[in-house]
Amino acid sequence: QVQLVESGGGLVQAGGSLRLSCEVSGRTLYNMGWFRQAPGKEREFVAAISRSGAGRYYVDSVKGRFIISRDNAKNTVDLQMNSLKPEDTAVYYCAADRNIAGGQREAWKYDLWGQGTQVTVSS
């Protein structure tokens, strides 16, 4: 059974940086995405990356601040988060998409999910 395990969350001051990592068990490569969910809000798309890593997609609110990357040899996907803002506070989830086309922004299109990691940005 494929498992996704996130790590790297924590508490940081506004303007700071955090790096999230998602490890996918097994050797199968998937299109990958990061989502986040703040209390009382719906799960929101943050970023996605294609299997090859050539395609990268971001929600407008994180463009220029967040960078998604992957290491296919290790089957990991990272999310480098810079210039963090209090509104970035949420539980962050990585997700895997088995479909051919990458860059999906809808949560329901992803097949596998991690357990989530908390990111808290203080003002």
**Sorting pLDDT into bands at 50, 70 and 90, what band is 100?**
confident
Closest CA to 116 of 90, 95, 92, 82: 92
CA distances from 7 to 43, 77, 117 (A): 19, 11, 6
Distance CA 21, CA 78 (A): 4
Segment 40-92, tens digit of pLDDT: 999 999 999 999 999 999 999 999 999 999 999 999 999 999 999 999 999 99
Segment 16-36, tens digit of pLDDT: 999 999 999 999 999 999 999
